[in-house]
């Protein structure tokens, strides 16, 4: 009996589904309609929340983007976090100080006026410098970067204004997703998987096929990984009021 138990534990460890503590957050940038149409029902099936960083001038602008009603459903019924991705999606490092302030402040004000409490900011194109971060600190509780190596956040040493993430692209494979998640589990790290447009047809560049998201969610569920929004993770660890 003990021998069988030993081999079972060993098998779970090798497969990446051991009992080691790890966290995963899933984020979606821009506020695209596919976040509601494809990503939301997929994650809901597994009971997972996510964080969506929206460009506020895009909301309701066309059928390609979320409308306010859909954003309310994600937040109130899906337990999703809503954060800011600026007002018009510029490269903030190319703007004057007053323009950066306007982008961050206007986006925050719009979200608050609609009943949301945006704690987080994700810089457009993942571009930021010291001046940008200084302004983010005045308006938001944290900043998530976009796919800058080394990807994983150490649980005991997190810079809340440079939270690491990895961006998933059209050519990311099932094997790569599994390896990325299993490494986080084995090393007890906080992993943030960042995506954009979740599609049902053949993906290109920033698009990800919904089947890959389904595989990702299933693997996380099978491995009993704690999937949590960024704000909830930071609050849980005393890093966000």
Asked if pLDDT for residue 122 goes beyond 80, the answer is: yes
- pTM to 2 decimal places: 0.91
Is residue 110 exposed (0-12), middle (13-18) or buried (19+ Cβ within 10 Å)?
middle
- β-strand pairing of 189-195 with 152-154: antiparallel
**3-state DSSP assignment of residue 104:** helix
Which of 17-26, 67-76, 85-94, 114-123 comes out lowest in average pLDDT?
17-26
Q: Give residue for tokens 């306007």.
A: 102
Does residue 1 sit within a domain? no
Higher pLDDT, 225 or 202: 225
pLDDT at 166: 96
Q: Averaged over 158-179, what is the pLDDT?
A: 96
Average pLDDT, the chain: 92
**For range 168-193, the mean pLDDT:** 96
Q: Name the token pair of 188.
A: 């007890």
Q: Residues 122, 84: contact at Cβ < 8 Å? A: yes
Condensed to tens digits (0 to 9), the pLDDT of residues 182-217 reads 999 999 999 999 999 999 998 888 899 999 999 999
The answer to whether residue 7 sits within a structural domain is no
Say how far apart CA 144 and CA 181 lie, in whole Å.
19
Q: Is residue 155 part of a domain?
A: yes
pLDDT at 65: 98
In a domain, 10, yes or no: no
Query: Within a domain: residue 11?
Result: no
Of how many residues is the chain composed? 241
Q: Which residues does residue 114 pair with via DSSP β-bridges, in sequence order? A: none
Percent of the chain topping pLDDT 90 = 85
Judge whether 12 lies within some domain: no
Domain span holding position 193? 20-236
Q: How many CB atoms lie within 10 A of CB 204?
A: 11
CATH at 39: 3.20.20.370
For CA atoms 93, 108, 235, 213, give the dihedral sign: negative
Query: What is the pLDDT averaged over residues 13-33?
Result: 78
- Cα distances from 166 to residues 63, 135, 146, 147, 170, in angstroms, run 27, 24, 6, 4, 13
**How far is it, in rounded angstroms, from Cα 106 to Cα 162?**
22
Core vs surface per residue 81-96: b (16+ CB within 10 A) or e: bbbbbbbebbebeeee
Instruction: Identify the band that residue 17 occupies on the pLDDT scale cut at 50, 70 and 90.
Output: low
Percent pLDDT > 70 in the chain is 92
Q: How many domains, in total, are found in the chain?
A: 1
């Amino acid at each position: 009996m003990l021998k069988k138990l030993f081999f079972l534990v060993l098998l779970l460890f090798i497969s990446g589904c051991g009992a080691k503590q790890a966290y995963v957050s899933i984020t979606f940038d821009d506020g695209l309609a596919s976040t509601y149409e494809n990503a939301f029902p997929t994650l809901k099936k597994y009971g997972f929340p996510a964080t969506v960083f929206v460009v506020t001038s895009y909301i309701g602008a066309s059928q390609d983007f979320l409308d306010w009603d859909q954003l309310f459903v994600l937040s109130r019924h899906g337990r999703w976090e809503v954060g800011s991705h600026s007002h018009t999606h510029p490269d903030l490092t190319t703007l004057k100080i007053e323009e950066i302030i306007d982008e961050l402040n206007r986006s925050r004000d719009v979200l608050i006026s609609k009943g949301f409490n945006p704690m987080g900011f994700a810089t457009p194109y993942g571009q930021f410098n010291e001046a940008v971060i200084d302004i983010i600190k005045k308006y938001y509780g944290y900043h998530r970067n976009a796919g800058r190596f080394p990807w994983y956040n150490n649980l005991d040493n997190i810079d809340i204004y440079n939270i690491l993430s990895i961006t998933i692209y059209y050519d990311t494979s099932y094997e790569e997703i599994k390896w990325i998640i299993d490494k986080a589990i084995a090393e007890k790290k906080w992993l943030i998987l960042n995506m954009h447009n979740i599609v049902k047809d053949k993906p290109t560049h920033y698009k990800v096929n919904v089947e890959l998201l389904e595989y990702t969610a299933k693997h996380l569920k099978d491995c009993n990984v704690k999937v949590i929004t960024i704000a909830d993770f930071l609050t849980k660890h005393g890093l966000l009021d």
